[in-house]
């Protein structure tokens, strides 16, 4: 494989947003690293789809919470292609718990969620930095959440972790320029198995209906909607860094504006 082929690592790319982003990159001719922690069969299916779309692929099991795994994942990429041009830090976890139920989460929940959602993204970014710096160019995209902007979402630890990820995005954008751009995408509601299982069927359908009826765009987001933004940050957006972009069909705007009489 030619060493000048552009290469992206997408963490947590067996399913959902990560898988959608990997397939979009493959369709654009990028080589893609598919990463998973436990979902091997689904990761293999995503890899097969990427290959059908014309992308060269590498499948690597690694837990981003483990720094050694992060370094191994990046080194496997370098060993195969000699470069890494893009990183999408998509791997993330949560615990579904109502925000008013303060006893429903504890220190261990905060540490576990923070370790994956924030430290994992930091470790992956640190691992790719010397290679991107050497190339003179690279792009990192952190998949955050509107929860980190609005203090909503599946649980307080999750929202807090995404708020920290947003702040870290700003810090890294300053620290890693001019060679490396660092941006974040903040999805709102995403039609996904993960959210359906976490919320339960009835709540999930109610929230989806609310999105379709009350947001300015009257739309319940899909993994492809969110992946489109992440891929744009990787493949385009050459003059953009330190941006935290919300993709939620306008849900964060709140109620409908007053209509002219």
Domain boundaries of the chain, sorted by first residue: 7-192+226-242
Tokens 């430290």, located at residue: 119
36 forms bridges with which residues in the sheet? 61
| Tokens encoding 170 | 């700003």
> pLDDT category, 194, cuts 50, 70, 90?
confident
- Full-model pTM: 0.95
pLDDT at 3: 57
Q: Match domain 7-192+226-242 to its CATH number in 3.50.50.60, 3.40.50.300, 3.40.50.720, 3.90.1150.10.
A: 3.40.50.720
Task: Return the higher-pLDDT residue of 4 and 158.
Answer: 158
pLDDT of residue 129: 98
70: pLDDT strictly greater than 90: yes
Mean pLDDT of 168-175: 98
Q: Is the pLDDT of residue 2 over 60?
A: no
Q: What is the pLDDT of residue 1?
A: 43
pLDDT score of 223: 96
Going by pLDDT thresholds of 50, 70 and 90, the confidence category of residue 11 is very high
CA distance 22 to 32: 6
Instruction: Give the tens place of pLDDT for each residue, 200-239.
Output: 999 999 999 999 999 999 999 999 999 999 999 999 999 9
Taking the C-alpha atoms of residue 124 and residue 119, their distance in angstroms, rounded to an integer, is 9
Tokens 């990159």 correspond to what residue? 25
pLDDT computed for residue 163 by the predictor:
98
Q: Which helix (H) or strand (E) holds 224?
A: helix 223-235
User: How far, in whole angstroms, is CA 124 from its chain's centroid?
Assistant: 12
* Per-residue model confidence (pLDDT) at position 246: 98
Length of the chain: 261
204 is catalytic: no
DSSP classification of residue 5:
S
For residue 155, the model assigns a pLDDT of 97
User: Which residues are registered as beta bridge partners of 245?
Assistant: 185
pLDDT in tens, 109-162: 999 999 999 999 999 999 999 999 999 999 999 999 999 999 999 999 999 999
Distances (CA, A) of 33 to 62, 76, 86: 11, 9, 10
Among residues 36, 114, 158, 204, the one annotated as catalytic is: 158
């Amino acid at each position: 494989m030619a060493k000048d082929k552009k290469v992206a690592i997408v963490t947590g790319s067996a399913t959902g947003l990560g898988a959608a982003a990997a397939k979009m990159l493959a369709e654009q001719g990028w080589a893609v690293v598919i990463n998973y922690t436990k979902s091997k069969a689904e990761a293999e299916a995503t890899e097969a789809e990427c290959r059908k779309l014309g992308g060269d692929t590498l499948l690597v099991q690694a837990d981003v919470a483990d720094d050694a795994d992060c370094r191994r994942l990046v080194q496997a990429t370098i060993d195969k292609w000699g470069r890494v041009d893009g990183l999408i830090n998509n791997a993330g976890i949560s615990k579904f718990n109502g925000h008013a139920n303060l006893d429903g989460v504890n220190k261990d929940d905060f540490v576990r969620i923070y370790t994956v959602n924030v430290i994992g993204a930091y470790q992956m970014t640190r691992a790719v930095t010397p290679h991107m710096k050497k190339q003179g160019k690279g792009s990192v995209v952190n998949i955050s959440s509107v929860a980190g902007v609005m203090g909503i979402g599946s649980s307080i630890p999750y929202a807090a972790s995404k708020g920290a990820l947003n702040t870290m995005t700003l810090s890294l954008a300053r620290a890693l320029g001019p060679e490396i751009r660092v941006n974040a995408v903040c999805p709102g509601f995403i039609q996904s198995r993960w959210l359906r299982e976490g919320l339960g069927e009835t709540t999930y359908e109610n929230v989806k209906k609310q999105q379709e009826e009350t947001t300015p765009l009257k739309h319940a987001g899909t993994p492809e909607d969110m992946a489109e933004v992440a891929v744009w940050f990787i493949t385009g957006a050459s003059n953009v860094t330190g941006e935290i972009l919300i993709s939620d069909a306008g849900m964060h705007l709140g109620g409908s504006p007053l209509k002219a009489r």
